[in-house]
Structure 1
Amino acid sequence: MYKIQQFSKLTGLSIPTLRYYENLGILKPARSKNNYREFTDSDLNWMMFILRLKQTGMPLENICRYSFLREQGDQTIEERIKLLDEQERLLNKEFLKLQKQLEFLKEKKETYNDMLAKRDNRIN
């Protein structure tokens, strides 16, 4: 079991952020007799998954939806796959944009390298 301070250090998230995620229903830690939050390894694994979803750029609204569906059980797997598919499509679209930008930079560098080579040939 982890107290919120320990859980915060393990996840790299601030305590207010963890409380916010709890208020949204993304995190649901157990409570001790004294009503302190008690996080488990399972909570930690779930939070790490959430952080990965955030890294993909998934909006918090969709993360909340995914979390809600997960709680409903295996009958929501198809819906969860749809959310992941949607995020994958968005990432692929961004990836293609980045590839085009990289190609632009590569072409510009080739142009400059050709110009330098011609200049150097004239000097020699």
Structure 2
Amino acid sequence: MTNEFSQPQTIRRAALCLWISTALTLVVTAAQVLNLVPIEGATLGMTTAIGVLTAGLLALIAILINARRNWGRWLFAVIFILGTLSAIALIFTSPHVFLGLPKLLQANMVSQIALQTAALFLMFSSKSQQWFGTKRS
């Protein structure tokens, strides 16, 4: 049972989705850096920077929502909308580009969309809304 001030399960699950997303980002980035997955159209440095920054941002948002920082979930919502719309647009407008990616990158892209969509819905569920809306003591 949770009172109005205890963290709801929805927030714990949203944070878990973000931590899994962070780990996947780091694993895929490492696979690219170690040349286990080919990097096409980007330099090694750019791939590394994007992977590390993305993982850092996901981890920061997981920390922020656990700390009951409402602006963290709004920041995630904006980034999610921009990033996911771009990814979905790529898949539907240029399916040959998506299908031309190595299978690991395709699976990662789909997994990231699923994990981050789940996190977003959990962050904005009614229980989460109430928790973010109550005053901390």
Structure 1 or 2, whichever has the larger Rg, is 1
- Note whether the superposition's TM-score is higher than 0.5: no
Q: Which has the higher contact order (CA 8 A, sep 6+)?
A: 2
Structure-1-length-normalised TM-score: 0.32
